[in-house]
Amino acid sequence: MKLLASTADINEGEFTTTAANGQDIIVGKADGRYFAVHDLCPHAFVPLNQGYLEECQISCPWHGFTFDVHSGKCTSWEDFDGLETFPIEIKNGGIYLAE
Ligand code: FES
């Protein structure tokens, strides 16, 4: 399993970026749970890491679409594509990309 981040480095409402399997990934904590999502907005394919996280939603810095970081669902436009999410495992203080 690939280590994405240490739990000690991510507080509630925060996120960081990393890369795994050739993809840029945002790793963070929202509503008491860690998450990992693709650092790429599915609208115009720009990085999301310049957006901000509010409760469980990350907003895109370009056109403001919002996505639930746990489900990936677009919360600002019901029928729009979701954000890609990645399964993770928390183990020994690490957040790992689950295989
Ligand atoms: S590029 Fe993200 S909302 Fe348009």
Mean pLDDT of each 10-residue bin along the chain, 99 residues long: 96 97 96 98 96 97 97 94 97 94
Ligand 1: centre distance to CA 40 (Å): 9
User: What is the CATH number assigned to the segment(s) 2-97?
Assistant: 2.102.10.10
Binding site membership of 33 for ligand 1 (Cβ less than 6 Å): no
Ligand 1 probe mutation, 63, 67, 80, 83, most atoms within 8 A of CB: 63
CA distance 96 to 89: 5
Domain boundaries, the chain: 2-97
Beta carbons of 90 and 66 less than 8 angstroms apart: no
11 secondary structure, DSSP code: -
- Cβ neighbors of 35 (< 8 A, separation 6 or more) are 27, 28, 29, 69, 70, 85, 88
Q: ∠5-45-88 over CA atoms, to 5°?
A: 25
Quote the pLDDT of residue 55. 95
Rounded to two decimals, the pTM is 0.96
pLDDT of residue 78: 87
